Chain A
Amino acid sequence: MTKVTSAQEAMNDDVYLKALTDLLYQLADDDFLISFRGSEWLGLAPHIEEDVAFSSITQNTMGHALMYYRLLEDLSEGEADALAHERDPSSRRNAVYFEKKNGEGEYLTEPYYDWALAVVRNFLYESFKKVKLEALTKSSYTPLANIAGKVLMEQPYHLSHWKIWFKQLNNSTDEAKTKLQSRLEEAWQQFGDVLELGEYATELEHFDIISGEDDLKERFIQEVESTVKDIRDISFGKAFGSGREGDHTPDLDQALNTLAEVYRSDEKAVW
């Protein structure tokens, strides 16, 4: 496949454009939702040092989301802020697991957030993100390949952060181990759509925009294997459907209502 070096060029091929656009929404929405969940954690992490570190990661991740929304902006999908704040739940393409609330309660009142969920989810997220980014560095869409290269300059540190957390807690008290294990089991029931590429999976592979689902899944397993020994025996479920195809939970409604509250409060305003 020849390289597609600009938005203009991508827009010349309708099928290519549709596949690329769908993938960019998946990438942007994944990063945006996980970083929104991270922003709710701010100030509530187990210790102050972690609060500072977690927030750095969250800011980077939201920055990545913004880069993808801008690529969509270049493809005439609309302004980045409108794409982030205005789209209705059914047009969101993030995997369902990433919209899941941080635990019981709300960030403003009684936030019984679960650090085990934060560690498991972010560890799995960053593991798969790294695999995807590495595949994207070879993307036929060079603006995306360039961004993947840039993101990979900082993203491995995110993965390393959460891997350390996972290992430390998993080698500590029985309570910590039990909490992690139960969050892992929950993750496997919901993780199926994370590993999918949605409606245009075939085209995405065909156009070399990203490698295929099987290849990504195998690389993900290799990435996680050293930390989660029994990963090869896991069957990944889709307890809440596929976010890649627009299935979502009420947790996404809560996220969108919160993150767009001020944005929606005055449609004409410049903030």
Chain B
Amino acid sequence: MYNYLEYGGSDQPNVPEHDQEKYEQFMARIEAGEKIEPDDWMPEDYRQGLVKLISMHGISEIMGALPEKEWTPKAPTMKRKLGIMAKVQDEMGHGQLLLRVAEDLLKPYGKNRENIMEDLLSGDLKFHNVFHMPTKTWADAGMVGWLVDGAAIISQTNMLDASYGPYQRALQRICQEEVFHAQHGEAIIMALAEGTEYQREILQESLNRWWPALLMFFGPSSADTTGTSKQDTMIKYRIRKSSNEELRQAFLDKYLPRVFSLGLTVPDETVHYDEEQEKWVYEQPDWNEFKQIIKNKGPRSKERLRLREVAYENNRWVREALSPEAIGQ
């Protein structure tokens, strides 16, 4: 699960002058629907944009495993334990697929996965806003699968025809698996919605809590909101098709009717579909809070990063023992 989210990294390599002729050939190729492969020539801002997008996507898959993992050992039945374990495993697998794509792109900079992990821990590489949020009950395990992955499907489907071949192919597989995840989440939600009073209570409480984060999921409508947005560049380079707001509207279109049909409400009394404008009208989430969250100042940012850090440091001896020098001893 994930979404493309614009942020400023701290170490941006300088963008060299384009070779104009190569640039034009490149644009002609992507405009003709051709896919760019790792060894092909590409403009520096294309490479950098992809590095940021895919590193963030990959690391968000891995950080995204953590909120649900909180409920994996606690899942209430054997079947749910097996289901959520497989689901979280898929997310780790997506992380692996994507980090390999990012590693190829990082080669000219002499960087690798180790650097990506270190950038995450140092705060240079951000992860998606939804994964900074706390989980409190089993309903959250369902909510993440149902609506967070539901949102991820919408934002990733938007890039299924991305101009960069390795990313586009990884997304094909990821999206197929995400559909299962959304069904897994929906199954948990349905059991709660049809369940006891307690189950319905934790379900509604969970939705109330996740609502602002779900609206934030697709990022701000424009750079005016948060001061930075690379959506236009990504559209120009045929990485993505729709804007953040178009994606959010597609999400609301798909899921709000389902939310209401389960007898659930969202914590926004103004939310409604405007027939004239043909779009959902909703109360904006607090975009200042969003800015804080993606700076690793969200409710659970520190704790989740700390888990990764402990795992990373604590297993250093294993990585050293597997290194070529050690094996060759």
Contact = CB atoms under 8 A, between A and B. Distances in A.
Interface centre among A46, A69, A80, A263 (most CB of B within 10 A): A46
B73 A40 contact: yes
A111 B321 contact: no
B187 to A, nearest CB: 10
A42 B85 contact: yes
A183 to B, nearest CB: 13
Contacts of A233: none
A133 to B, nearest CB: 20
B196 A59 contact: no
B76 A262 contact: yes
A180 to B, nearest CB: 10
B147 interface: no
B81 A176 contact: no
Interface in A43-76: 43-49, 51-52, 55-56, 58-59, 62-63, 65-66, 69
B198 interface: yes
B76 A44 contact: no
B195 interface: yes
A229 interface: no
B62 interface: yes
A46 B317 CA distance: 9
Contacts of A84: 78
Contact of A48 (B76, B81, B95, B322): B95
Interface string B109-134: 00000000000000000000000000
A42 B262 CA distance: 32
Contact of B311 (A43, A59, A176, A265): A43
Contact of A39 (B72, B138, B306, B317): B72
Contact of B85 (A49, A59, A172, A259): A59
Interface in B302-321: 303, 306-307, 310-311, 314-315, 317-321
Contacts of B322: 46, 168, 172
Interface in B122-170: 138
Contact of B199 (A55, A169, A266): A266
B77 A81 contact: yes
A204 to B, nearest CB: 25
Contact of A171 (B78, B195, B327): B327
Interface in A154-174: 168-169, 171-173
A263 B73 contact: no
A36 B307 CA distance: 19
Interface residues of B, number: 48
A138 to B, nearest CB: 28
A169 B323 CA distance: 11
Contacts of A13: none
A266 B82 CA distance: 20
Nearest to A36: B73
Given A172-B322, A262-B76, A43 B92 contact: yes
B73 A258 contact: yes
B92 A48 contact: yes
A44 B82 CA distance: 18
Interface string B58-70: 0000100110011
Nearest to B316: A46
B62 A115 contact: no
Nearest to A112: B314
B319 A271 contact: no
- Helix, strand, loop or mixed for chain B's interface? helix
Contacts of B306: 110
Interface in B173-191: 188, 191
Interface residues of A, number: 54
Contacts of A258: 73-74
B89 interface: yes
Contacts of A173: 317, 320-321, 326, 329
A262 B199 contact: no
Interface centre among A43, A80, A172, A261 (most CB of B within 10 A): A43
A14 interface: no
Contact of A59 (B89, B191, B310, B329): B89
Contacts of A39: 72-73, 81, 85
Interface string A107-127: 111111101000000000000
A259 B66 contact: no
Contacts of A85: 76-77
Interface centre among B71, B73, B327 (most CB of A within 10 A): B73
B122 to A, nearest CB: 19
Contact of B89 (A52, A63, A66, A268): A52
Interface of A: 36, 39-40, 42-49, 51-52, 55-56, 58-59, 62-63, 65-66, 69, 80-81, 84-85, 105, 107-113, 115, 168-169, 171-173, 175-176, 179, 258-259, 261-263, 265-266, 268-271
18 contacts: A39-B72, A39-B85, A42-B72, A43-B65, A43-B88, A43-B92, A44-B307, A46-B315, A47-B315, A48-B96, A56-B89, A85-B76, A171-B329, A173-B321, A175-B321, A176-B321, A261-B74, A271-B77
> Nearest 4 A-B pairs (CB), nearest first?
A176-B321, A55-B89, A271-B76, A172-B321
